[in-house]
Amino acid sequence: MNGWHMAGSHPDEYTFEMTTESLGDKTVARLRCTSDSPQGFGTIMQTVTADHYLGHRIRFAGSLRANSVDGWAGLWLRVDGNSGTEAFDNMHDRAIRGTTGWARAEIVLDVGPHARAIAFGALLHGSGAIDISDLTFTQVGTDVPTTAQTPQMHSEPVNLDFSS
């Protein structure tokens, strides 16, 4: 499919296909596990240059529906720089599981001034399938909070003896 490609730890255990269904006037695609005992995850993804988004906050959003997902699924977004990953969120902390109706999902990240590439997509870890529709990729203002969980940073080391 133009622009999209399969990837993941075990992409050969997954398929990506268009369905005959629609969500309003939007096409529905399906990422589905084809293995009886999946060993990892599959993802559909794209990678674009970060040039148009440097110094901005971006939102990748879409509608997702889970079909017997026994692991977890969600959207994901990654900002890469010269030294590796600068920002990342794969919805693991708010994943979709089981069987659900349509729900809106979104990821919001900052694109640093030295970012080189932005990768994004939908992933399925384990068996089942997810339906994907109405994807958007937009710049947003700093009034929209980021979704990535950032560990709390202290000015000095704390709790080195694990007592609290």
CA distances from 89 to 2, 28, 85, 122 (A): 24, 23, 11, 11
The confidence score (pLDDT) of residue 163 equals: 75
- Is residue 75 within 8 A of residue 91, CB to CB? The reply is yes
Spell 66-81 as b/e; 16+ CB within 10 A means b: beebebbbbbbbbbbb
The pLDDT of 132-144, averaged and rounded, is 96
The pLDDT of 77-94, averaged and rounded, is 94
The pLDDT of 126-133, averaged and rounded, is 97
Asked if the model's pLDDT at residue 118 lies above 90, the reply is yes
The share of the chain scoring above pLDDT 70, in percent, equals 95
The confidence score (pLDDT) of residue 149 equals: 67
In this prediction, residue 83 has a pLDDT band, given cuts at 50, 70 and 90, of confident
What is the residue-averaged pLDDT of the chain?
Answer: 93
The pLDDT of 67-94, averaged and rounded, is 95
Look at 11-15, 46-50, 126-130, 154-158 and tell me which has the smallest mean pLDDT: 154-158
Architecture of domain 5-37+47-140 in CATH?
Sandwich (2.60)
For 112, the token pair is 């640093």
The share of the chain scoring above pLDDT 90, in percent, equals 87
Asked if the model's pLDDT at residue 153 lies above 60, the reply is no
